[in-house]
Amino acid sequence: MRILKADHPLIAHKLTYLRDKRTDSPTFRRLAEELMTLLAYEATRDVRVEPFPIETPVAPTTGIKLANPKPLIVPILRAGLGMLEGMVRLLPSAEVGFLGMQRDEETLAITTYANRLPEDLTGRQVYVLDPMLATGGSMADALRFLIERGADDITAVCLLAAPEGIAHLTREMADVTPPITLVVGSVDERLNEKGYIVPGLGDAGDRLYGVV
Which active-site residues does the annotation give? 103, 107, 203, 206
Cα–Cα distance measured from residue 149 to residue 165, given in angstroms and rounded to the nearest whole number: 24
The neighbour count for residue 14, using CB atoms within 10 Å, is: 21
Q: With 0-12 CB in 10 A as exposed, 13-18 as middle and 19+ as buried, what is 163?
A: middle
Q: For residue 3, which of 204, 138, 163, 131 has the smallest C-alpha distance?
A: 163
Q: φ, ψ for residue 25 (rounded to 5)?
A: -60, -45
Under 8 Å CB-to-CB from 50, ≥6 apart: which residues?
64, 65, 66, 67, 68
